[in-house]
Amino acid sequence: MTVFKIIASKAGKVVFDDRVEANTPREARRKMKERLGLESLSGVVYAITEIPIALIRQIVAEQMANSVVERGGKRQVDIEALVRRAVESTSTVGAAEQRQAPHAPASNRRDPLSDPAPQATRGRASTRCNPEPPRAFTGPDWKSIKRVYLRTRSLKQTAGQFDVPVNTLKARARREGWGK
């Protein structure tokens, strides 16, 4: 048996947030349907994540073994050392991620776990730096296309010259009455 964490929502409301023991994700999904009393999951958005219990137990056992100290002739777990090591490993992971992606664009998002924002910037909307505004798609020059079509009377030749689909050109000519 494996433990799966399932979070499901319907219409923007969380309807299921629990752990389910099952052999496969499919079986976990079936159990969730049963607990919710639903025939189908239509309209339900869900995420299933496998929780590797054996791996978590192994990591915890190793961390505990590394934090055992002798105090008064008894072996005890040094909680401070355990917490300190966990914090250091978290900051090491963050530093490694930053080293891996030095070319990543700077984010305007604030990390909620970091120090609070300076007093001067609180309450102000963040300004994003957009170096270049998005360009509007203008499309083909239909006046020029109409002139060429009226001169050649060939849909295929005109479409090829302006790189426009033949059926698009044909529909436009019919709609605007170019042939009359």
What's the confidence (pLDDT) of residue 30? Answer: 92
pLDDT band at residue 149 under the 50/70/90 scheme: very high
Tell me the pLDDT tens digit for each residue of 58-104: 877 777 777 777 667 777 777 777 777 777 766 655 555 555 555 54
Nearest-5° Cα angle at 89, 85 to 93: 175
Q: Is the pLDDT of residue 31 over 60?
A: yes
Q: Is the pLDDT of residue 114 over 70?
A: no
pTM of the model: 0.35
Distance CA 157, CA 56 (A): 68
**Pick from 16-25, 123-132, 138-147, 161-170: least confident:** 123-132
Long-range residue pairs from 140-148, CB within 8 A, at least 24 positions apart, any chain: 140/164, 142/172, 145/169, 145/172, 146/173, 146/176, 146/178
Q: Which two tokens stand for residue 169?
A: 């050109």
- DSSP for residue 112: T
* Torsion angle, alpha carbons of 87, 88, 89, 92, to 10: 130
